[in-house]
Amino acid sequence: MDPSSTTALVDLVHRAQRGDEPAQREIIISYQHRVAGFVYAMTGRSDSVEDLAQQVFIKMIRAINGLQAPAQFESWLFRLARNTCIDHLRRQKLRRIFLPFAPEHEDVPEPSGAVDTEELDALRYAISQLRPQDRALLALVQEGRSHAEIAETLKTSVAAVKARLHRAREQLRQHYQSDHET
Amino acid sequence: MKPENEAWSQLREWAAAQLPPNFADRVLRAARAGVDAAPSLLSQFALGAATAAICFLTVAFFQARGAHEEDNRTIADWQQIASAADDSGLSQ
């Protein structure tokens, strides 16, 4: 089933809200890769992806009954993902203060893999130079969220989103090009 | 921006590869088992503040009780001294 079809998505969400486990599983399978990509863009650490993605989907299962507009499921899910990642980054920041030498704070280089390319390394570096709020903004745009949806998620105006997006893209491009050319 | 768009696709592909094949089943098992998502920062601060408040109240309670007992002992000692002084005054 292609969840991008709104009617099918609404039906799937309704079934999940009634506690239908196969429907919940289908939602997870349909969105897990996109959520994983979003989490990785926010945190920059592959060792955080599985744990945070799991947290996002557990929160989704527990809170889905409160979703009044199933057609807005995707915006709602990525809002959950963004908030989960922001909370995680804040906790990490606090832990750095109290446990400065903990192993999770070491800058461990990302393990190499089948999709290792210069472009990917350059993008990883560029994203890591941005503030978490700007990473979230760019990741939401990459997920196909409209400016209006992003404004709703961030509780701000569409004009503010456009301005911040423009600045974030400029910064990303500068860091991407500086790393890509070295 | 084209190389960056390709890089974003690669980034998603890389992140997706970090999930195990049975990820959905693991999530559902964890949700059924009541495994909590990580507590929010606010709830952690609230727990810390509540713990600190309980510690403070406990220390204040025992401090006050200890001071009260000390006062009672001091009063008893002075009463004893005063009583002894009265006795010696009477005896003279």
How do residues A147-166 score in pLDDT, each as one tens digit?
Answer: 998 888 788 899 999 999 99
pLDDT of residue A132: 87
**Contact state of B38 with A88 under an 8 Å Cβ cutoff:** yes
Residues contacting residue A87 through CB under 8 Å, at least 6 positions apart: B38, B40, B41
- CA atoms of A68 and A78, how far apart (whole Å): 16
Is A110 in contact with A124 (CB distance < 8 Å)? yes
Confidence of residue A110 (pLDDT cuts 50, 70, 90): low
Confidence tier at B11 by pLDDT (50, 70, 90): confident
Calpha distance B46→B55 (Å, rounded): 14
Residues of A in contact with B30 (CB under 8 A): 54, 58
Query: Which residues numbered 20-79 in B keep a CB inside 8 Å of some CB on A?
Result: 20, 23-28, 30-31, 35, 37-38, 40-41, 44
Bigger pLDDT: B11 vs A4? B11
Q: Is the pTM of this model over 0.90?
A: no
pLDDT at B43: 74
pLDDT surpasses 50 at A48: yes
**CA-CA distance, A136 to A151, in Å (whole number)?**
12
Touching check for B10 and chain A: CB below 8 Å?
yes
Q: What angle do CA A44, A50, A53 make, to 5 degrees?
A: 90
Q: Which residue of A has its CA nearest to B35?
A: A58
Residues contacting A24, CB < 8 A, separation 6+: A16, A61, A64, B28
DSSP 3-state assignment of A67?
coil
Best mutation target among B1, B4, B26, B29 (most A Cβ atoms within 10 Å) is: B4
Higher-confidence residue: A29 or B48?
A: A29
CB within 8 A of A31, min separation 6: which ones?
A: A3, A74, A77
Residue B12 has pLDDT above 50, yes or no: yes
Which residues are within 8 A (CB) of A22 and not within 5 positions of it... i.e. 6 or more apart?
A: A15
Which comes out higher in pLDDT, residue A60 or B8?
Answer: A60
The answer on pLDDT for A117 being more than 80 is: no
Give the tens place of pLDDT for each residue, A67-96.
Answer: 999 988 998 999 999 999 999 988 887 777
Residue for token digits 């609404």? A10
Region A15-32 average pLDDT:
95
Model confidence at A1: pLDDT above 50: no
Smallest Cβ–Cβ distance between A58 and the set B3, B31, B41 belongs to B31
pLDDT of residue A152: 83
> What is the per-residue pLDDT for B7?
80
Nearest-angstrom CA–CA distance, A137 and A142? 9
**Overall residue count recorded for chain A in this entry:** 182
The reported pLDDT for the residue numbered B13 is 87
Judge if ipTM > 0.90. no
Q: Answer yes or no: is pLDDT of A99 > 70.
A: no
pLDDT digit string, tens, across residues B33-57: 875 555 666 777 888 888 889 999 9
